[in-house]
Amino acid sequence: MNGFKICYVSSEVAPFANSGQLGDLANYARSLPVSLKETEQDIRLMMPKYKSINERKFTLREVIRLREVPVSLNGDTRMANGKTAFLPNSKVHVYFLSFPDFFDRKGIYAEPGDKGTYDDNAQRFAYFCRGVLETLKLLYWQPDIIHCNDWSTALIPFYLKTDFAEDEFFSNTRTVLSINNIQEQGLFDKNLAPTLGIDNGHLKKGGPFLVKDQISFLRAGLTFADQIVITGKNAADNLMDKPAQAGALKELLQERAGEISGAGKGASYVEWDPENDKYITYHYDAKSPERKDENKGELQNDFNLEQNTELPLLGMIGDLSEASGFPVFLEAIGDLLKKDLQVVVMPQGPTVFVDAMETLEAEFSGRFKMVEKYDKKLAHRIMAAADMMLIPSVSGMSGENHLIGLRYGTLPVLINSGDYPDDISDFDPDSASGNGFMFDKLNKSAVEKAVLRALKVYADREGWRRLQETVMMQDHSWNQVSENYLRIYQKAGL
């Protein structure tokens, strides 16, 4: 298969910008391009230049030919400026498009803390989509694929097949649209259509834009993209089996079923590999999972936990917020700590539950440890030391920690929803099958029962080691995900 030139476009890319509103888009938009680059694809990222992006920290540089880029919609011209940097720890170029009137704000889609959204989000992301196409022309870089993500970039396929349809520069360019959260459809007042370059012919009932008498950016993307990806290995099939989940888009999705594929998530084995992890003291692989105990002993010592490597250690790294259901997990942990168990918790973002965790720390001294702020090195050490990883999520759409856990022989305990069942199946002690411990509903009792089942399996140390060996040998890398995307790009008609 020949290499592709891929322009990967996203409104969020970790570590530059991450709202959490579009599922795990930001982490996906970081990991997939890196993996594709490793397969010798010529891939470049484009995203908005938000005020929150630290130019000095990420070494953003001006691009002379991208100064004062005129971007026009319905006769209104705005000037964009382009800067570039590398995605950290990779060779992937990132282009940041700056529209000061639109993106020089604190938030991505809304002011932090506000329940609403910016009133001009339609214009903000329409100009960004248009700006991507104008930028490509100024770079003299003709992509084979423009890979769009969610509603915020979904106008690119529309503009490409209407206003740019006769442009020779894009004559061999195809589009792929990935959907991370189909509930976020980019709905706006249809009276905005002229300002977005949408003519009346596209506003007919059953046409490419209208959803309940509103403009839907996502519907337009689904209509005009050459290929559509629903993130999650089985998500596309599930959506077809349960079309009600797609709401007003269900008929369109059924019409385009032949162009829809599912694609899973992966873990970065370059960064996360216990055999070569630069942040841990004792390296191990599937043939030596018992060396986890040495990492556990070291962590117990550093965190002033009881020095006993026979005690099961439950780790928890993730979104410790109300939205993730963390209060329920915290309540369950309070009960579980009365058992022979140690727990280490670290947030991957802000949390308002520090006081509650400090109370647990005082009550269960030597059993419970809270790390107040995310620390990359400690995250690796906790993953290598823990026997199980409790994943804080209501939706089943959170991060890669469950997959990283498998690589480290750290069995995930998580909810049976969202993307998780794509890769995790509940452990059955009778058949010794499965690679995690799942609960169906988020409540204290369900979480406790799942952890207690894991503890029961852990009590048979030989059986537990066999389970660790099995899950560590499974391939959940981004490499197998990127191979699937290369097949999708091929299907786009190249």
Q: What is the pLDDT of residues 302-334, one digit of tens each?
A: 999 999 999 999 999 988 888 889 999 999 999
Q: What is the pLDDT of residue 22?
A: 63
In a domain, 324, yes or no: yes
| Domain residue limits at 329 | 289-476
For residues 313 and 460, state if they share a domain: yes
- Overall average pLDDT of the 196-210 stretch: 89
| 256 Rama sector, left if φ>0, alpha if ψ -120 to 50, beta otherwise | alpha
Residue given tokens 């995307």 in the structure block: 485
For residues 47 and 154, state if they share a domain: yes
CA pair distance 16, 90, nearest whole angstrom: 14
For residues 414 and 487, state if they share a domain: no
In a domain, 272, yes or no: no
Q: Give the tens place of pLDDT for each residue, 328-375.
A: 999 999 999 999 999 999 988 778 899 999 999 999 999 999 999 889
Q: Give the tens place of pLDDT for each residue, 266-291.
A: 888 888 999 999 999 999 999 999 99
Helix ranges (H only) for 42-120 are 100-103
For residues 262 and 356, state if they share a domain: no
| Residue (of 289, 309, 230) closest to 265 by Cα position | 230
For residues 21 and 165, state if they share a domain: yes
Please tell me which residue, 25 or 100, carries the higher pLDDT value.
Answer: 100
Residue type at 464 in one-letter notation: W
Q: Give the tens place of pLDDT for each residue, 19-58.
A: 766 667 888 889 899 999 999 999 999 999 999 999 999 9
Q: Give the tens place of pLDDT for each residue, 217-254.
A: 999 999 999 999 988 766 666 666 665 556 778 888 88
**How far apart, in Å, are the Cα atoms of 204 and each of 45, 154, 213, 216, 286?**
34, 19, 10, 13, 58
For residues 354 and 262, state if they share a domain: no
Residue 390, pLDDT > 60, answer: yes
For residues 410 and 484, state if they share a domain: no
DSSP state of 378: H
CA pair distance 209, 106, nearest whole angstrom: 29
Dihedral sign computed on CA atoms, order 117, 122, 127, 133: positive
In a domain, 280, yes or no: no
Mean confidence (pLDDT) of the chain: 92
Q: What is the pLDDT of residue 262?
A: 85
For residues 385 and 423, state if they share a domain: yes
For residues 222 and 327, state if they share a domain: no
Please tell me which residue, 19 or 13, carries the higher pLDDT value.
Answer: 13
In a domain, 336, yes or no: yes
Q: What is the pLDDT of residue 479?
A: 86
In a domain, 235, yes or no: yes
For the domain that residue 332 is a member of, what is the CATH number? 3.40.50.2000
Q: What is the pLDDT of residue 471?
A: 97
CA pair distance 438, 162, nearest whole angstrom: 47
For residues 247 and 297, state if they share a domain: no
Q: What is the pLDDT of residue 242?
A: 60
Dihedral sign computed on CA atoms, order 419, 422, 428, 432: negative
Q: What percent of the chain has pLDDT over 90?
A: 73
pTM (two decimals): 0.83
In a domain, 277, yes or no: no
For residues 242 and 370, state if they share a domain: no
Number of domains the chain contains: 2
For residues 293 and 255, state if they share a domain: no
In a domain, 420, yes or no: yes
Sheet holding 187-189, edge to edge: 187-189, 214-216, 210-211
Per-residue pLDDT band at 398 (split at 50, 70, 90) = low
Beta bridge partners of 347: 318
Tokens representing 397?
């759409």
CA pair distance 258, 470, nearest whole angstrom: 36
In a domain, 191, yes or no: yes
Per-residue pLDDT band at 206 (split at 50, 70, 90) = confident
